[in-house]
Amino acid sequence: MKLWEKGITPEPAIIEFTAGEDRMTDLALAKWDIIGSMAHVIMLNNVGLIVEEEKNDLLKALHSLFVWDEEGSLVIEKDVEDIHSQIEKEISSILGTTGKKIHTGRSRNDQVLVDIRLYTREEIDKLAILVGKLFSRLQALSEQHREVLLPGYTHMQPAMVSSFGLWFGAYAECLAEDILMLSSARALNNRNPLGTAAGFGTTLPLNRKLTSELLEFDDLLYNSAYASLSRGKVELSVASSLASLAQTLSRFSMDVCLYMSAEFRFIDFPDEYVTGSSIMPQKRNPDVFELIRGRSNIIQTIPNQIVMLTSNLPSGYNRDLQLLKKIIFSAFHELTECIEIMLLMLNNIIIRKNITENPLYNTIFSTEEINRLVRDGIPFRDAYQAVSEMVKNSTFSKTVISDYAHEGSIGNLCNEQIAELFNKRMECFKNKSAAEMAEKMMEYVK
């Protein structure tokens, strides 16, 4: 079954190619296609396009399909093109003529659009909650190890005194910025395309504000033609926020791989959390973090994939846009797996103490000595030259570390302020679950 059938049997190879992987990816949209259809049915009754009894029957049938999907029993049959066709087929088989009215006033274009936006909103909210757990873990580690000193590096050379508190806290604040980007993507995504039909509106008297309220969108997409143009634009915004998050995971993972190396040995993990070699018995490989780094780097290519896919498309719907689904769906899945395994690893991380006691790191205290001389009244440039000579002549010896008092230094991490910033940015991620939305729609059954 195809929603566009006109009584002509299509060439099977054409259907197979144009459907692509929709039979697999569309199952992720099933519950949201049902929720969107329930809102559409309520609206059709509101404007007089279906009667009360038809509305009730359609809502009950759709809810039964929702339960079916929740149980994992809803499948896309071999001769059915996509989830939208499958659901309409099921409804028509249950209700006959009444079921055929479900597509009144909408196109598959706005139907797909609303499904994708509802799916994306849920995935963003789920991802934000997971990011919140990672943020909390990094902040806890920052507090726990705030006084454990660590060499800070620039240009891959020992530079200044740092701490594990500063290191963990830095990545926590990275996540606070990532969550801001994710919230912006959510806001761009959370507008209702339902009712824009194929991109040119309809002569039927739809109430688009009602479906916006029912589906808990912030607003509706006003211009029908823009609804089609928004495909690719929203995905690019979402992909950019996911890429930003992936960059944070990738850079942290690189640090971990470096800090686990024999030359550094700043951190470690229990034996059961690292892998070995089939030939070299001494190996302790950070495979988990290498894979997080690699998978995160691939995710960072996704914005460019979307740009290349959409940059030269004309206005209106083009089948190229179908390919966006797999790209975005996969990105959510990959990031979720990476964060979950990173949380597991960070719950078992081992921090090495007394690292800076190694004479190798004596020179990271040279800036401390300059600042001590400055506090004694020596001009900074003269102090810099004096200490520089000591370093050059290998006569510099480790000095006593001074108090770091300013905001964001190792003595004043500002973790509370960063947490306040993060929590405020998390307030927008409060979407109802699909099950809650389904129950809300069923309240309209009289």
* DSSP at 432: P
Q: Write the DSSP symbol of residue 400.
A: P
* Helix, strand, or coil (residue 388): helix
| Calpha distance 143→408 (Å, rounded) | 13
Q: Give pLDDT tens digits for 129-158.
A: 999 999 999 999 999 999 999 999 999 999
Q: Which fold has domain 110-148+166-196+222-356+414-437?
A: Fumarase C; Chain A, domain 2 (1.20.200)
d(CA 288, CA 176): 24
Q: Mean per-residue pLDDT for 7-28? A: 69
Query: 265 in helix, strand or coil?
Result: coil
The beta-strand segments (E) located in 200-299 are: 219-220, 267-268
The pLDDT value recorded for residue 4 is 44
Q: What is the DSSP string of 200-225?
A: T--SS---HHHHHHHTT-SEE---HH
- Assign domain 12-104 one CATH number from 1.10.275.10, 1.10.645.10, 1.10.630.10, 3.40.50.300: 1.10.275.10
What pLDDT, on a 0 to 100 scale, did the predictor assign at position 320?
87
Average pLDDT for 402-416:
86
* pLDDT over threshold 50, residue 357: yes
Mean pLDDT, residues 409-415 taken together:
91
**In percent, how much of the chain has pLDDT > 70?**
94
Contact between 55 and 41 (Cβ < 8 Å): yes
Q: Boundaries of CATH 1.20.200.10 in the chain?
A: 110-148+166-196+222-356+414-437
The pLDDT value recorded for residue 87 is 94
Is the pLDDT assigned to residue 237 strictly greater than 50?
yes
What is the model's pLDDT at position 18?
Answer: 63
Per-residue pLDDT tens digits for 167-195: 999 999 999 999 999 999 999 999 999 99
CATH 1.10.275.10 occupies which residues in the chain?
A: 12-104
Encoded amino acid at 4, one letter = W
pLDDT band at 14 (very low <50, low <70, confident <90, very high): low
Beta bridge partners, 219, equal 191
Tokens describing residue 410: 């190792």
289-316 pLDDT, tens digit each: 999 999 999 999 999 999 999 988 999 8
